Amino acid sequence: MKNVNFIYPNGTHALKNISLNVDKGEFLAIMGQNGAGKTTLIRTLNGLLRPSKGVIYIEGEDISLKTVATLSKRVGIIFQNPMHQLFSNTIEDELKFSLKNLGLNKEEITVNINTFLEKFNLSKYRDRSPLNLSGGESKKLAIASIICRDPRILVFDEPTLGQDAKEIKFFIDLINHELTKNKTIVVVTHNVEFTIEYVPRTVLMAQGKIIADGPTKDVLSNEILLKESSLIMPQVYQLKNELKNIGFDIPEEIYRESDMINFLSSYLKQIKLDEDNN
């Protein structure tokens, strides 16, 4: 994205001179408060919104003259509310519609439908209306309907919102699998705990601008930037700061939950060892 601006008809300047490079195979998060411009930004990636000014390139091509249908084969967007993209009478039909656009024959479509229904644990619901699914199941269907097209770029808008631990684990495993295929993955999220654990790079937005872009561990440990973005510091950093305040010498490389658990476990074992020796 080069100097991208977007102004809504009501005059709201949602994107202000956004310049952003994302490499093939990269996994990054876009974070910021409501109204920061995150959703507007991702909607420009497949032509749902056209920039008022600036240029967007995908794989070296200016997308300004590309249709939404063409771009959707490259960029798959999974919206925050699954019902905004599910419209077929049954789950099977939802996947069938996506696969028909790939020019597959009937046999290939059937095989793919069965594969994705099983992969997303939706086989027993194949004849059910998407309207009769739970929140977690409808989210899975929305993701399946996009991933079955095999787009090279995947964009998720608040994928962990309202999801329990099991569903988040499923999503993480799915992301890791897609990354092995060198997919580019962008996640829009407010979930700092998810981001610090799993996402290597974070882009922070505020009032339509990018205010930070770098390694997640650096961006989400900056109290000034987090305050400007109305985000809360990850719990590991909060604990780390409190422990430092009472005299703990904690290595800078600790920023994940597992790192902190290992550090404290080793510390407590050393205390016990010292007590036993005395």
Taking phi first (over 0 means left), then psi (-120 to 50 degrees means alpha), and beta for anything else, what does residue 93 get?
alpha
Which pLDDT score is estimated for 204? Answer: 97
What predicted TM-score, i.e. pTM, was given to this entire model? 0.90
pLDDT for position 242: 93
The CATH superfamily assigned to 2-232 is P-loop containing nucleotide triphosphate hydrolases (3.40.50.300)
CA angle 231, 53, 82 (to 5 degrees): 50
Residue 84 confidence (pLDDT): 80
Q: To which residue do tokens 């016990």 refer?
A: 272
Given a cut of 50, the residues of the chain with pLDDT beneath it are: none
The residue type found at 236 is: V
pLDDT of residue 223: 93
Distances (CA, A) of 3 to 6, 26, 191, 229, 251: 10, 21, 27, 21, 39
Return the beta strands (E) in 122-230 as ranges. 153-157, 184-188, 201-206, 209-215
Confidence (pLDDT) at 52: 96
pLDDT of residue 87: 83
DSSP 234: P
The dihedral built from the CA positions of residue 129, 132, 137 and 138, taken in this order, carries a sign that is: positive
Rounded-to-integer distance, Cα 229 and Cα 183, Å: 28
The whole-number pLDDT of residue 270 equals 85
Angle at CA of residue 207, ends 204 and 209, nearest 5°: 55
Residue 123: its pLDDT value, please? 92
| Cα 143 from Cα 224, distance rounded (Å) | 35
Answer for the pair 199, 216: CB distance below 8 angstroms, yes or no.
Answer: yes
Given this model, what pLDDT does residue 227 score? 92
Give the tens place of pLDDT for each residue, 219-253.
999 999 999 999 999 999 999 999 999 998 888 88
How far, CA to CA in Å, does 160 sit from each of 14, 67, 139, 230? 24, 30, 10, 19
Residue pair 122/136 in contact by the 8 Å Cβ criterion = no
Residue 47 pLDDT: 93
Between CA 160 and CA 128 the distance in angstroms is: 24
State residue 88's pLDDT score.
87
Domain boundaries, the chain: 2-232, 234-278
Closest CA to 94 of 119, 67, 128: 128
Nearest to 135 by CA among 123, 143, 127: 143
Instruction: Give the pLDDT of residue 277.
Output: 79
